[in-house]
Amino acid sequence: MFSLCVTSIIVHQLNVTMPSEQEDDLTANVDEIGRPSDEKDFERKRLVDTKRKNTDSLLKFSPSSQLFNSIVGYHDVKRLFHLSLTSEKPVHVLLVGPPASAKTLFMQECMKLQRSYFTLGSHSTKSGMIDYLFNNRPRYLIVDEIEHMPIKDQTSLLSLMESGMITETKFQKTRKTQLRTWVFATSNGTNQMLTPLLSRFVVLHFKQYKYVDFREVTVHMRYLEVITEETAASIADAVWNKMKSKDIRDCIKIGHLAKNKEEVQWLIETLRNYRK
């Protein structure tokens, strides 16, 4: 139902990283030679335990694996996030698309995770982010509209996402620390992002809603207000066809005000009369 386009960036990223992963596997195979079987079993158990620990941490904040359950559709994206959250090493995810395409909803769900930190790209500064990383050591760093983060501040994420290492030199004093932090971010576009930063993400491009999806999302979100499914459907129809808007936030605003179809029609006409 929802269309999803994975950009060539992901393909490129896989092409770049796969050889190193294969090299790591070869190294691991070499290391296996001559190792006692007890030591091999211990290592396998450690990896399994780590995976289970990550999953348990996720489930604490998503009972019955229902994290992202409030988001309609995007089942493939939800599964990708689950794989990232339960991976042994951080896998960073960037959602790119037009406004009101569920990107921020995914970030809001990620905020439910333990040790998560949310920030807006336009409000982030390198010094402020570095201080927070040192002082709070977040497991999940969530950045909405990362493209608005100044270029000089984007560089603060490069080392964190690549190796987990954070280093800062100030007043001839240097401090450094090692973190294990996942970075999840959204962006309306990627033109203002550093190429090295972009290459560290798995990038997913969201397309704009089609009407059937737009209507389904509006009906699904009626639980936020005391309105019937019929009223919610009329809001979706009026916003899409009369206001010529594809922004789901317009439906939410009208849902806050109107409690029946008559009020929906009156609000739509009033808004149309006062538009530019």
> pLDDT digit string (tens) for 140-177?
999 999 999 988 888 889 999 999 998 888 777 888 89
Mean pLDDT throughout 53-63?
Answer: 49
Question: What's residue 190's pLDDT?
Answer: 92
The share of the chain scoring above pLDDT 90, in percent, equals: 44
**Is pLDDT above 70 for 26?**
no
18-22, 62-66, 157-161, 212-216, range with the lowest pLDDT: 18-22
197-211 residue pLDDT tens: 999 999 999 988 889
Q: What is the pLDDT of residue 173?
A: 85
Cβ–Cβ < 8 Å for 255, 221: yes
Per-residue b or e along 138-173, where b marks 16 or more CB atoms closer than 10 Å to that residue's CB: bbbbbbbbbbbbeeebbebbeebbeeeebebeeeee
Between 222 and 30, residue with greater pLDDT: 222
- In terms of average pLDDT, the best of 2-16, 156-170, 215-229 is 156-170
* Per-residue model confidence (pLDDT) at position 44: 59
Rounded average pLDDT over 17-28: 36
pTM of the model: 0.70
pLDDT at 29 over 80: no
- Go through the chain and tell me how many residues it has: 276
